[in-house]
Amino acid sequence: MFESLSDRLGKIFEGLRGRGALNATDVDNAMREIRRALIEADVSLEVVRAFVEQVKERAVGAEVTRSVTPGQQVVKIVHDELVAVLGDTASPIDLNARAPVTLLMVGLQGSGKTTTTAKIAKRLSEKNKKKVLLASLDTRRPAAMEQLRVLGEQVGVDTLPIVSTETPVEIARRAEREGRLGGYDVLILDTAGRTHIDEELMAETVAIKDIANPHEILLVVDALTGQDAINVARSFDGRLDITGIVLTRVDGDGRGGAALSMRAATGKPIKLIGVGEKMDALEDFHPSRIADRILGMGDIVSLVEKAAEHVSAEDAQKMAKKLKKGSFDLDDLRNQLLQMKKMGGMGGLMSMMPGVGQMKKAMANSNIDEKMFDRQIAIINSMTKKERAEPELLNASRRKRIAAGAGVEVSEINKLAKQHRQMADMMKKVGKGGMGALGGMFGG
């Protein structure tokens, strides 16, 4: 089973709650896990090394907020640092230049240049109401020019007529002229790639750059490139001084490590991500979302905020005790249901809680949803105090009485009883196995 970094850190810091600041040993242990998580996310080794050093500096001696666990605190520090490296905000394509604003698409063969060219064209023409001209400079593969023409047609954007005898530089010149005379706002030049970096490709692309004088040079990189992404980004940036990166096939890579490597190596922003083969599968790059992917975590910060807002310290203490003892009765279930209702149900709170994936699944399997909260609370209200404390008392005749009282079918009582049993089991496991994630929630 995939264990997220947040879960792992929760384990490391288990039992350390209540300590004022993070000490060097705790942080060292946490850093081992962070290093592993980053490598698993395919972040390049040298970037991992530098990044871990940075985080360590910030983490040692950091105050642990009372309401969160040290594990959560470290995850937050790592998250913030990731966002700092990835860039704090989205950076859109810059069209602030004299028309036609030229965008040059570069990258290895198969990285998604032609597809991305058409996707960007579609977006600029539909959303930004720009008049866009596309030109393929890929003279190496005759099919490549045709591919761009077809995609252009599909997204309703003009392509430069194909003249099969021209060199890439000649096409670039003609495209610029056509863009200017044709009153285009934006000209996007799609180039040929290679299966790997070679000098001929670089020289050709540099020559195109000199002629086309592009306002943006976008390096297109496949997210699945993994460890090699850093070399690709360095080579292209070294020769061309790129202005941004487009990461494609993010739909196929849930980890996003390539983004971190390339950004750290070049300092150039990730501008867009490709999330599918369709022409509208293009999104702005949000550093914080990729940081979350790399960490594989829920939104800990908002979890902690929400928890502090809604769960009183007393309730939390009581719940923590119950969890430790493994006794979770129907009164507790009722309190849980009331709290969940207040916090906006499963969708809201539960989805933000790291480490409760299992519990969440069990609940989903037993069909808890927000609309059921009220009915379930009504059922529990129809029980006697004794029944709530000792659910095993619920025999057939008692169930019938409760059903009548709550105005539901007996089958619903059965369902609730079963669900309670599952939850109690789960709670017992969580209580024993590690209070890491739940600790911040109930034990704080």
Residue positions forming the annotated binding site = 107-114, 190-194, 248-251
Q: Which does 353 bind (CB under 5 to 8 A by kind): Mg ion, ligand GDP, none?
A: none
Does 277 sit near ligand GDP (CB under 6 A)?
yes
Question: Could you count the other beta carbons within 10 Å of the beta carbon of residue 293?
Answer: 18
The least distance separating ligand GDP from the CB of residue 333, rounded to whole angstroms, comes to 44
The answer to whether the beta carbons of residues 434 and 424 sit under 8 Å apart is no
Does 256 sit near ligand GDP (CB under 6 A)?
no
Window of 38-46, 103-111, 395-403, 426-434 that interacts with ligand GDP by CB under 6 A: 103-111
Q: Using CB under 5 A, which residues numbered 122 to 151 contact Mg ion?
A: 144
Does 114 sit near Mg ion (CB under 5 A)?
yes
Does 111 sit near ligand GDP (CB under 6 A)?
yes
Does 197 sit near ligand GDP (CB under 6 A)?
no
Does 146 sit near ligand GDP (CB under 6 A)?
no
Does 6 sit near Mg ion (CB under 5 A)?
no
Tokens of 328: 């979770």
Nearer to ligand GDP, 15 or 276 (CB): 276
Question: Could you count the other beta carbons within 10 Å of the beta carbon of residue 435?
Answer: 23
Among 18, 252, 267, 344, binds ligand GDP (CB under 6 A): 252
Q: Which does 169 bind (CB under 5 to 8 A by kind): Mg ion, ligand GDP, none?
A: none
Does 248 sit near ligand GDP (CB under 6 A)?
yes
Instruction: Could you list the residues known to form a binding site for GTP, using ranges.
Output: 107-114, 190-194, 248-251
Does 205 sit near ligand GDP (CB under 6 A)?
no
Window of 113-121, 163-171, 293-301, 365-373 that interacts with Mg ion by CB under 5 A: 113-121
Give residues in contact with Mg ion (CB under 5 A): 113-114, 144
Give residues in contact with ligand GDP (CB under 6 A): 107, 109-115, 193, 220, 248-249, 251-252, 274-277, 281
